[in-house]
């Protein structure tokens, strides 16, 4: 079963705009992570936010976590064509035995 | 170079045959995972292992088998019992510190399996 559900499924923006993706999950978590996947490749870890954190930054990435709503958002600022990829959230469920469960992903297309 | 290596990149199988996908890591990670990804979809967990000689079923284990005889290796066998095996298979590893939250996963480049 999918723990996380991303929204929107697909997003198309112009270069320079900001992109926001949302993730909702079902159970209590130890942490939530965001990954990026270029077409036909493996996933690359972007950022991890722990359950006791509310916001985290890494370069042009900003992640928020609201455990009361069981939701997270990923903001990519000043997007570039090279940001075109699929983005997935993954949760490490509390008591889940260190098992990472991935969402369905958001396909981001950044156009010149 | 430290990393996680999957082989082969492309694999073709005839119906009724078993095939084994290789996954090797030199990151000294305790935990290893196998995921399946179908076109336009997310990752679904097949099997995972926290430690050598131990592994657990994920959400879609039927038709698959694994072994973990060495820390660095976690091969996946797709058996003839798997009715729809054509998919992209991803292997990952992570440090295993349950509860500490240090579970960033490192992925291989995937194996694309096609049944012909």
pLDDT tens readout for residues B9-68? 999 999 889 999 999 999 999 889 999 999 877 899 999 998 899 999 999 999 999 999
Tell me: pLDDT of A2 over 80: no
The residue of chain A with its CA nearest to that of B36 is A102
| Dihedral sign, Cα of residue B96, residue B98, residue B104, residue B108 | positive
The residue of chain B with its CA nearest to that of A85 is B40
Q: Residue B81 is inside which H or E element, if any?
A: none
pLDDT (average), residues A85-102: 84
Phi, psi (rounded to 5 degrees) for A42: -75, 175
Tell me: pLDDT of B102 over 90: no
The residue of chain A with its CA nearest to that of B87 is A40
How is residue A86 written in tokens? 């699929």
Q: How confident is the model at residue A1 (pLDDT cuts 50, 70, 90)?
A: very low
DSSP code for A81: G
Residues of A in contact with B96 (CB under 8 A): 98
Tell me: pLDDT of B98 over 90: no
Q: A86, A36 in Cβ contact below 8 A? A: yes
Q: B50, A98 in Cβ contact below 8 A? A: yes
Q: Report CA-CA distances (Å) from A64 to A13, A77, A93, A107, B44.
A: 21, 14, 17, 19, 24
Q: How confident is the model at residue A93 (pLDDT cuts 50, 70, 90)?
A: confident
Smallest CA-to-CA distance from B55 within B71, B78, B79, B42 is with B71
Answer yes or no: do B98 and A105 touch at CB < 8 A: no
A29 touches chain B (CB under 8 A): no
Residue A54: CB atoms within 10 Å: 10
User: How confident is the model over A17-51, as pLDDT tens digits?
Assistant: 999 999 999 989 888 999 999 998 999 999 999 99
């Amino acid at each position: 079963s999918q723990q996380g559900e991303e929204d929107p499924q697909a997003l198309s923006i112009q270069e320079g705009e900001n992109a926001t993706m949302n993730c909702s999950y079902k159970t209590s978590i130890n942490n939530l992570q965001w990954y990026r996947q270029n077409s036909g490749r493996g996933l690359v870890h972007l950022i991890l936010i722990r359950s006791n954190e509310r916001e985290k930054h890494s370069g042009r990435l900003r992640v928020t976590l609201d455990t009361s709503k069981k939701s997270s958002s990923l903001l990519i600022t000043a997007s570039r064509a090279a940001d075109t990829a699929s983005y997935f959230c993954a949760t490490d469920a509390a008591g889940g035995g260190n098992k990472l469960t991935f969402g369905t992903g958001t396909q981001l297309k950044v156009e010149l | 170079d430290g990393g996680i290596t999957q082989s082969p990149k492309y694999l073709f199988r005839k119906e009724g045959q078993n095939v084994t996908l290789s996954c090797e890591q030199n990151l000294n990670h305790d935990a290893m995972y196998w995921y399946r990804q179908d076109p336009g979809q997310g990752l679904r967990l097949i099997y995972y292992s926290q430690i050598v000689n131990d592994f657990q079923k994920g959400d879609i284990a039927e038709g698959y088998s694994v072994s973990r005889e060495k820390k660095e290796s976690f091969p996946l066998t797709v058996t003839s019992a798997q009715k729809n095996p054509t998919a992209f298979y991803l292997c990952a590893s992570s440090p295993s510190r349950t509860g500490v939250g240090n579970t960033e996963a490192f992925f291989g480049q995937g194996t694309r399996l096609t049944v012909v």
